[in-house]
A and B are shown apart, each in its own frame.
Chain A
Amino acid sequence: MWSAEEFEQRLRRVGEERYHDKHPFNLRMHDGTLTREELQTWVLNRYYYQTRIPVKDGLILSKALDPAFRREWVHRLHDHDGQEPGEGGLEQWLDLALAVGLERAEVVALRGVLPGVRAACDDYVRFVESNDLLASVAASLTEMFAGDIMRRRIAAFEKHYPWVLTEGLRYFQNRTRQAPRDAAFGLRFVLEHANSADDQARCVAALERKCEILWRLLDAVEAAGRHLRLSRHAELRTDRVADQTLVVLPERAVRLNPSGREILDMCDGGRSAGEIARALRSRHPEIEQVESDVHHFLEQMERVGVLEVAP
């Protein structure tokens, strides 16, 4: 078993190595090189994460038997949901959405949420659901690293994205105060309650897992900004036997139905995945989840080599 200092160091090292402040998308955000569309995609998708946070905190509360713990932890729900309608972190995130030019209703409806983002956030909730209090609190310790990223973000927005209205930054400003306070409590709890080498290892693993979830969220957001085109190794054929489109690749052939073909034909390298998904939503308003389906399809097609990122 590690000493308390050593254990804390191990936890902090997880952040140094894996926290999403090092993700290429965040680096670009802070460098000021994101396009307006990319920033909007991030805000819209990250809102889904925000909506899962109180659910996650409710689950944690349901595992706690100590009134003192619950009194402290319930702050998080208040911070997030406010005491009155129109208050709290979730509401402030919607202010940010407005400030980057999104429509409130569109964000709240969660329709444009990328399947990869949804999966990552749902994984977080599931993790807390299926783990004990100690591991769940340990997973929340990414807050230890959050104060810093919020400050960098505010500076970056003011400097590089002047078109974002300053009222939109209130969420970040509040989090620079809340995150360190929350993290200090969480860390104290974890240090006190991890009473064996196994507990400590589980806490480190939980924190790693959480970092991985945040990372995957940004992977998905980044992928939506990618410009895809038909792989230069692919050949399009009409399958003589089944009369469908066949994409022939080295050692593989992928059969497409007419919807797949329609999406593929839009992958000209000039449009981002997000743009393609939105275009198809306006073309097929009758299909529910069409954007999500398109993203899912594009991901799959890239994975099997039908599509590649345009240079």
Chain B
Amino acid sequence: MAELTYRCPLRCAYCSNPLNFRDVPESLDAAAWGQVFNEGAELGCVHVGLTGGEPSVRRDLPEIVAAAAKAGLYPLLVTAGTPLDREGLARLRDVGLRSVQLSLQDVDSATAESIAGVRVLEAKLAFAAWVHELDLPLILNVVLHRHNLARVPEFIALARTLAASRLELANTQYHGWALRNRAALLPSRAQLEEAAKVVTAARKVSPAPELVFVLPDYWADRPKPCMGGWASKTIVVTPSGVVLPCHAAAELPGLSFWRADERGLRACWTDAPGMRAFRGETWMPEPCRSCPERGRDFGGCRCQAFALLGDPAATDPACAKAPRHDVVLAARAAAEAESVARVVLRGAPTN
């Protein structure tokens, strides 16, 4: 994942970028990104997600896409659909862009605006049409929460209309800004079960886009196999060139990560102390260390353990076996009650 910038014209209430996103400089130019991509391909990377923030606020995006394609990677643009215009998108395709993931807040303009802070739906729908016209595969990504879960049928219908190849119905991960809004966003179990039923039924109606829906870890009793294991499958490079095992890991205390432009991607990936800290199983506390499921979920999410318990080495409290599962149970109980919390938008837009 190449995080090209943390600037973004949207202010989504569940933004997963670091809270100090304003202080992160954009240190890598297109040539430096090209170097990162070449080294990534050498390491065996196949895809690269160009993400952010909103990657299309970078003026040198075409050069960056071209560099990714030249490195032999399969570039995916992860975008909010703005401010990129049709000509800009066509140009990206011409220099090697292979697919587009478009975020969508809601199917209703006003509710979408209440989550994103700006009026975006119309622009996104127009953008989706361009993606289709330009024959790029379209992946739709909807972040789900208690205010839009009831509209999963509409999201699926829209995905069909827009000829999306895949619809990711991604339940909010409560990190960063989203954690501040947890009381306003966490859905009830009944809402999730209803949505799951709708998804199961929709999968039987062909032709359906591929539907991705995973029960959020707060309700699943087992943690998510976060990033497929710490520093195991996915490399994240931040706008300042820091190499991370996941987009939120920079916030963890006491871990040092290195910069790709200073030490090279391979060393940053393999040897940085932060990367080694939770790779494999030796770091695991009980009950993870002796758990038969540790090879499946890798002890869950380190960032969640830190965010909820202040200790990144603790068992993810989303797990029912975790000593501090009570904090997740308390959040669940609150979600079952009628929520009165208001959604707070992330700080001012940054385009």
Contacts and interface: CB of A to CB of B under 8 A. Distances in A.
Q: Do A and B bind each other?
A: yes
A249 B139 CA distance: 12
A112 B137 CA distance: 35
B165 A241 contact: no
A250 B98 contact: yes
Interface string A226-257: 00000011010101110000101111010000
B135 A251 contact: no
Nearest to A232: B135
Interface in A247-269: 248-251, 253
B92 to A, nearest CB: 14
Contacts of A186: none
A233 B46 contact: no
A237 B101 CA distance: 23
Interface residues of A, number: 14
A300 B101 CA distance: 24
Nearest to A303: B210
B44 interface: yes
A233 B137 contact: yes
B212 to A, nearest CB: 9
A253 B46 contact: yes
Contacts of A115: none
Tell me if A's interface is mostly helix, strand, loop or mixed: loop
Contacts of B135: 232
B74 interface: yes
Interface string B203-225: 00000001000000000000000
Nearest to B210: A305
A250 B46 contact: no
Interface string A53-91: 000000000000000000000000000000000000000
Contacts of B101: 251
B166 A240 contact: no
Interface in A281-311: 305
A250 B165 contact: yes
A250 B166 contact: yes
Contacts of B42: 240
A235 B74 contact: yes
Contact of A250 (B41, B44, B72, B139): B139
Given A232-B135, A233-B137, A248 B46 contact: yes
Contacts of B98: 233, 235, 250
Nearest to A242: B44
Interface of B: 41-42, 44, 46-47, 72, 74, 76, 98-99, 101, 135, 137, 139, 165-166, 210
